[in-house]
Structure 1
Amino acid sequence: METANPIFRHQISADVIALDKQGRVILVADVRGSRVVKLTLSQFTSYLKATQTVVPFAMLVDPETIQIVQWDGVNWSEAICSLKTTDVVKPYIRDFDSYKRDYQHQQITGGYLEILLLAWLDDLAFHWKLETPPASKELAAIGLLERLDEGSTKREVEISGDTILRDELSHEYLYWA
């Protein structure tokens, strides 16, 4: 019996992705301090050029700053939007004042920061918590807010082109013959 070896085309691992309402990847995010292998913009560039995929935005997140850059098909822009991480995620932390008091010397990092980022992106898409989520005005100004409308998010994913190979809920891989 012959066994097939999987063929992996160019792929990327991302901490968080956002998809528009048609299911196209519109944003890849790298959350520094998470357990997923980190990617730099140069690695994102190699991936996008190799797959001839257009992912218009990248988000670089650390405990202090969220920076958003845009892909024009050839190069990444300088940061087109820079936000304070705490200002963006604090509405999604239950009893933020208690959290701040108990963890005053610790920053929000890793998986917890990823979860808070997902909550914010989902709120931007569906307004499940706030009528006007944090940074709505800034994201509208760069054209990202309308693309997030009624979209979805995924955490800890591997993608190839517009195909999601793996996400946090599925450790199954798609194979190509």
Structure 2
Amino acid sequence: MEAAKFQIPNYVADIVALDKDEKIVLLVEVKATKLEGRDAKEEAISQLKSYLQNAKNTRFDLANETFAMFADLENIYIFKWDGKKFSDFLISQETANTLSYYDPDFSSKTILGFYLKTLVEAWLRDLAYHWKSETPPASEKLAEIGLLQKLEGGTTYSQVNFDGDTLR
């Protein structure tokens, strides 16, 4: 007799950013590996898409313009979501160039998953309310695509469950 094979859906986003009106403006997937090959990147994009499709299961609405980001040890990619599909990436930023501002030793030490998520969230919070800098890394690029304005005055949550009825 063959064992039944099934997959339990994983609807836990690494980071969610809300605007000042508490609407979801950004969903983030973080991988503490270098995403190599088309399959790995497609898997990360597919995961982000599942979060966006399940966002209705939270008490927060999606903003009119919603963005998605995935970050690995090499790059940070930002996309726009139109309700059905992602745009091509709007920004590709080297992770070390961005996050070294929050940990100057970023490039010279081993970075594990939880710490990478913490640094990405620190950067997003700095963009939202400038706790470390008036001009956080990549501010100009994010302003050009309209994301910076949406982040300002907002907040972030980590480990967000989209499979329930609340945002945790």
Letter aligned with residue 78 of structure 1: D
Q: 1:133 aligns with which of 133, 136, 149?
A: 136
Q: Deviations over 1:114-133 (max 9, x none)?
A: 11111111111111111100
For residues 54 and 125 of structure 2, the distance between their equivalents in structure 1, rounded to whole angstroms, comes to 29
- Is residue 11–residue 161 contact of structure 1 (8 Å, CA) maintained in 2? no
**Aligned pairs for 1:111-122 within 5 A:** 111-122=114-125
Q: Runs of 5+ in structure 2 lacking a partner?
A: 1-8, 34-42
Taking the aligned partners of 2:142 and 2:68, their CA distance within structure 1 comes to 13
Contact 1:69–1:81 (CA under 8 A) maintained in structure 2 = yes
Selected match of 1:89 from 81, 87, 99 = 99
In the TM superposition, residue 92 of structure 1 has moved relative to its aligned partner by 1.0
| Corresponding residue for residue 123 of structure 1 | 126
Q: Aligned-residue CA RMSD in angstroms?
A: 2.6
Counterparts of residues 71-90 of structure 1 (less than 5 Å): 71-90=81-100
**TM-score using structure 2 length:** 0.75
For 2:121 and 2:55, the matched residues in 1 are separated by 26
The percent identity for this pair of structures is 42
Specify the structure having the higher radius of gyration (Cα): 1
The 2-side partners of 1:61 and 1:135 are apart by 14
Deviations 1:62-120 (A, max 9, x none): 00100001101121011111101011111111xx2xx36xx73x443311111111111
Residue in 2 that maps onto 1:145: 148
- Cα offset for 1:24? 1.3
User: Which residues of 2 match residues 1-177 of structure 1 at below 5 A?
Assistant: 12-33=11-32, 40-49=44-53, 54=62, 56-93=66-103, 96=104, 99=105, 104=108, 106-159=109-162, 163-164=166-167, 166=168
How many residues are matched?
145
Deviates further, 39-48 or 111-120: 39-48
User: AA paired with 2:86?
Assistant: W
2:3 corresponding residue in structure 1:
none
**Offset of 1:49 from its aligned partner?**
4.1
Instruction: Provide closer, same or farther for how the CA distance between residues 82 and 161 of structure 1 changes in structure 2, counting only shifts above 3 A.
Output: farther
Q: Which runs of 5+ in 1 are unaligned?
A: 1-9, 167-177
TM-score (norm 1): 0.72
CA–CA separation in structure 1 for the residues paired with 2:18 and 2:67: 11
Q: Which amino acid aligns with 2:15?
A: V
